[in-house]
Amino acid sequence: MNTLPEYLIEAEKNHGHMCPGQVLGVRMAMLGCRLVGVDEPKAGKRLIVYVEIDRCAADAINTVTGCRLGRRTLKYRDFGKLAATFLNTGTDEAVRVVALESSRDLARECFSHLPTKKQQQLEAYKTLPDESLFSWERVRVRLPEADRPGHPLVRVMCDDCGEGINDSREVVRDGRILCRACAGERYYEVTAG
């Protein structure tokens, strides 16, 4: 595993700027990997990470772990929390790491000599011990075969729109196979023209 300064340089390059969320994400990923016994996170597909927020920290976690949506090693759960679960698929060990709300106040207390909240948080998140920034707990993650990295296991067609659906993501209603959009979970609206 690289050092914190090395990951921060890489994270800034990948994300486009450095911010407190990037530092927390890098630290969170380094801790999560250590806790599940993954020393080389970017090697192979034995690490799967579930991120619970779509903010800066998610990019930083991707930087450290190499986990990506397209490789099916990064999973996104929209919980709006600065948290992530790290699963070692070789051992089935998993840990959920959460950024502590108290770390913001701690940053202000410990680094009040710095002029801005951002500078205080950047310095705090780089230097404070893991225990001051995060809580963590061992968890069990049930990873269905259809969610594992690799080629799709099964593919069906939606009876309404005719689009293909991979890996049991379809909805069966009144004996008809529907994609989630046709089943009423559409996040978009079709417009004319």
Question: Which tokens is 24 given?
Answer: 């927390």
What would the pLDDT profile of 55-78 be if each residue is shown by its tens digit?
A: 999 999 999 999 999 999 999 999
Contacts 24+ apart (CB under 8 A), 118-122: 118/19, 118/20, 121/20, 121/23, 122/18, 122/19, 122/20, 122/23
Let me know if residue 49 belongs to a domain.
Answer: yes
Kindly report the pTM of this predicted structure.
Answer: 0.90
In this model, does residue 50 exceed pLDDT 90? Answer: yes
The domain tally of the chain equals: 2
Let me know if residue 193 belongs to a domain.
Answer: no
Domain that holds residue 164: 151-185
Closest by Cα among 83, 86, 82 to 74: 86
Is 140 found in the same domain as 160?
Answer: no
Is 155 found in the same domain as 84?
Answer: no
Closest by Cα among 54, 100, 97 to 75: 54
Percentage of residues in the chain with pLDDT exceeding 70?
A: 100
Whichever domain contains 17, its CATH number is 3.30.1330.130
Is 166 found in the same domain as 106?
Answer: no
Does residue 65 or residue 193 have the better pLDDT? 65
Say how far apart CA 122 and CA 18 lie, in whole Å: 9
Is 71 found in the same domain as 32?
Answer: yes
Question: Which tokens is 153 given?
Answer: 């296991």
Let me know if residue 190 belongs to a domain.
Answer: no
Is 121 found in the same domain as 56?
Answer: yes
Q: At what angle do helices 20-35 and 117-127 cross, to 10 degrees?
A: 20
Q: Which of the four pLDDT bands, split at 50, 70 and 90, describes residue 42?
A: confident
Let me know if residue 192 belongs to a domain.
Answer: no
Is 123 found in the same domain as 166?
Answer: no
Q: Which of the four pLDDT bands, split at 50, 70 and 90, describes residue 146?
A: confident
Is 92 found in the same domain as 27?
Answer: yes
Is 160 found in the same domain as 119?
Answer: no
